[in-house]
Structure 1
């Protein structure tokens, strides 16, 4: 009877990880994860900062909401030649409003492109 294969006569060895080996292996696996998390945190902060900078970097004027005013009426007043929908959208975006409801006394930033000229 013949067997195919190499017979060395040595006992089969089992891979053993020492405590130091486990630490090295854990470090190798954890390093890319830590780098990815750090990149996400840094990138997320940059996106937030750029959003805030974009909202405040352009020039704008401020109007105070009067009694009975709505964003639509303010849009028609500050930019009579423009489409009120575009003006309302720009005001909502610039002021980071959750909706279109405004209260008397509230100060709103008006984008420079729609600001009334003095």
Structure 2
């Protein structure tokens, strides 16, 4: 074996291997430090999200049910049952049932009482109409 200037070379079975001089030990890096902004993000953001979640959850749980609001407004409306004849309309039925009231109000009551989508009725259809 012959010595070289930078490193030693060894020959095993025709292969040449260079032995590099030992490198100095790696420096250990200082532990990771959080900056003030990093601490705010790491701690503050989850706290803000948790607070928003708790506020929305408490609002959801404390809100009154829709049925409770509308149930207090409901009153028993005295009704009678009417069968629609051929050629009749809600306007005509409203004028017959309550001639002293505005027909638009009576039609609106009939639509609400029977859960109608529009003012269209079919002959033979049974409707509940206000008796007052």
Question: Shorter-chain TM-score: what band?
Answer: 0.5 to 0.7
CA 30–85 in structure 1, closer or farther in 2 if over 3 Å, else same? closer
Find out whether 1:50 has 2:71 as its counterpart: yes
Please name the residue that 1:63 is paired with: 82
Q: Calculate the TM-score normalised by the size of structure 2.
A: 0.53
Structure 1: distance between partners of 2:104 and 2:52: 52
Q: Calculate the TM-score normalised by the size of structure 1.
A: 0.58
Instruction: Give the number of the structure whose residues are more often helix, by fraction.
Output: 1
Structure 1 alignment gaps of length 5 or more: 1-12, 114-118
Q: Of the two, which has the highest radius of gyration?
A: 2
CA 22–95 in structure 1, closer or farther in 2 if over 3 Å, else same? same
What number of residue pairs does the alignment pair up? Answer: 96
Structure 2 alignment gaps of length 5 or more: 1-34
Larger relative contact order (Cα-Cα within 8 Å, sequence gap ≥ 6) = 1
